[in-house]
């Protein structure tokens, strides 16, 4: 079954739909405006996570932002919201844009000089994506040569700023120093995140979820894949401007209306969906857990439980990734191929073998036998192995953050 690829009116209005923003709050009196900004970003569709300095928590309670975002607030490098992850690393890998509002003279100085002695400054040093500062302080402080020099350093490094605005400040003085209004900061965020993405105009095909190989009308062979990883990659590719086709096995997950979704059940149906679309794609990502075997024959009626044992004769299904990889060899225009290797032992060795045999450009390898498992969970730990032999070990990440890392690698290593 196919769902249309038309953008809804609601999505058009919500320009930050599903964009991932980390909101940093430092200890300026304008921190009260950050709650309004948080609401405005959410209203425009963004997912927001909040990081606060200790001084900021004395001005506005973290509970305010936890309530607005429905997520824990990161306030200390010694407090972990997830036992398996360092928050300053996981937030840095999850977010697409860091907004610091208010940005005090103190935090600007720390950012410029590489000081990391609180949650926000430590996060900043681990941040390698766009950052937007909304300075707020006394006008004389803003004009101080040291502050201006620190700001110049950050701007030269690619950091953006909005404001400060001129007017009355909290201390009763007038001049440049007021934090920009929340709407203006949100507009600046849109300008950064809604610019043409690195995959603009590119076609990306993703397979996701399990398949079902039927024994009879009510029984089938399948696996625990939830499809979360593939759906995360599809949504991430969409935010980067790609035209996305998602071939999805049986799952309860929903995706954006702008994604062209083809629902399938069996490995054979998944193969047909991929074959129909693959030649026009710039990138194909095989994240589905396709069944390796299917019954030789399917009973048209429910098999009765008349005996103590039941024997099934199984045959191999067509290896979709290998089939497309072999067809792509030698083509002048071939898609960038990404595979997944879910292994329980010898993970790297097995992944490298699949990489070569299926003609992948990149393979994402993970240990599905690890404690806590992978299937159905919201996070994953993987390694990226490239066709040139290079390997990148990744920390345990939220699957959307992992999707972003995978697509970063695709853009960096592809030739389009």
DSSP state letter for 350 = H
> For 196-207, how does the pLDDT look when each residue is reduced to its tens digit (9 = 90+)?
778 988 999 999
- Counting Cα atoms < 13 Å in the Cβ hemisphere of 347 gives 20
Q: What is the pTM of this model?
A: 0.64
Q: Tell me the C-alpha to C-alpha distance, in Å, between residue 234 and each of 228, 259, 404, 411.
A: 10, 8, 10, 15
What pLDDT, on the 0 to 100 scale, is given for residue 10? 43
CB 181 within 8 A of CB 89: no
What pLDDT, on the 0 to 100 scale, is given for residue 5? 41
Q: Tell me whether the CATH fold assigned to 8-193 matches the one assigned to 203-301+309-413.
A: yes
User: Which residues are part of the catalytic machinery?
Assistant: 171
What pLDDT, on the 0 to 100 scale, is given for residue 170? 66
- Spell out the domain ranges in the chain: 8-193, 203-301+309-413
Q: Using DSSP, state whether 333 is helix, strand or coil.
A: coil
What pLDDT, on the 0 to 100 scale, is given for residue 373? 54
| CA angle centred on 116, ends 115 and 117, rounded to 5° | 110
Regions of the chain with pLDDT less than 70: 1-14, 78-88, 169-172, 369-376
- Give the domain 203-301+309-413 fold: Rossmann fold (3.40.50)
> For 33-65, how does the pLDDT look when each residue is reduced to its tens digit (9 = 90+)?
999 999 999 999 899 999 999 999 999 999 999
Residue 244's contacts (CB-CB under 8 Å, 6 or more residues apart) are: 204, 205, 206, 234, 237, 238, 258, 259, 260
What pLDDT, on the 0 to 100 scale, is given for residue 306? 83
Q: Using DSSP, state whether 273 is helix, strand or coil.
A: helix
Q: Could you tell me which CATH number the domain at 8-193 has?
A: 3.40.50.1950
The DSSP result for 40-92, as a single string, is: HHHHTT-EEEEEE-HHHHTTS-HHHHHHHHTS--B--TT--SSTTS-HHHHHH
């Amino acid at each position: 079954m196919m769902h249309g690829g038309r953008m809804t009116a609601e999505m058009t209005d919500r320009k930050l739909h599903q964009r991932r923003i980390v909101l940093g709050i430092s200890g300026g009196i304008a921190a009260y405006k950050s709650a309004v900004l948080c609401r405005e970003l959410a209203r425009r569709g963004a997912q927001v996570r909040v990081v606060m300095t200790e001084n900021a928590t004395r001005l506005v309670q973290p509970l305010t932002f936890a309530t607005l975002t429905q997520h824990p607030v990161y306030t200390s490098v010694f407090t972990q919201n997830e036992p398996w992850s360092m928050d300053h690393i996981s937030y840095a890998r999850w977010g697409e844009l860091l907004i610091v509002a208010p940005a005090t003279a103190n935090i600007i100085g720390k950012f410029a000089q590489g000081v990391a002695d609180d949650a926000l400054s430590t996060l900043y040093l681990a941040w390698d994506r766009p950052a937007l500062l909304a300075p707020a302080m006394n006008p004389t402080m803003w004009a101080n040569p040291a502050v201006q020099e620190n700001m110049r350093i950050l701007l030269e490094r690619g950091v953006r700023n909005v404001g400060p605005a001129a007017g009355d400040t909290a201390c009763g003085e007038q001049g440049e120093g007021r934090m920009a209004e929340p709407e203006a900061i949100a507009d600046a965020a849109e300008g950064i995140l809604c610019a043409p993405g690195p995959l603009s105009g590119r076609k990306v095909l993703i397979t996701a979820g399990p398949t079902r190989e039927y024994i009879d009308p009510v029984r089938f062979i399948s696996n625990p894949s939830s499809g979360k990883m593939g759906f995360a990659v599809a949504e991430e590719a969409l935010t980067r401007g790609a035209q996305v086709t998602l071939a999805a096995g049986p799952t309860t997950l929903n995706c954006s209306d702008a994604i062209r979704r083809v629902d399938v059940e069996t490995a054979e149906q998944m193969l047909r969906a991929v074959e129909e679309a693959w030649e026009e794609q710039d990138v194909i990502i095989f994240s589905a857990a396709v069944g390796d075997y299917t019954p030789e024959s399917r009973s048209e009626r429910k098999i009765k439980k008349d005996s103590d044992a039941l024997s099934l004769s199984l045959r191999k299904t067509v290896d979709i990734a290998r089939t497309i990889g072999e067809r792509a060899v030698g083509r002048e225009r071939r898609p960038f191929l990404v595979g997944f290797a879910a292994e329980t032992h010898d993970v790297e060795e097995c992944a490298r073998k699949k990489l070569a045999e299926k003609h992948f450009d990149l393979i994402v390898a993970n240990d599905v036998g690890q404690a806590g498992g992978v299937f159905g969970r919201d996070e994953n730990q993987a390694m990226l192995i490239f066709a040139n032999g290079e390997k990148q070990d990744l920390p345990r990440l939220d699957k959307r953050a992992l999707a972003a890392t995978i697509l970063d690698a695709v853009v960096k290593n592809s030739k389009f």
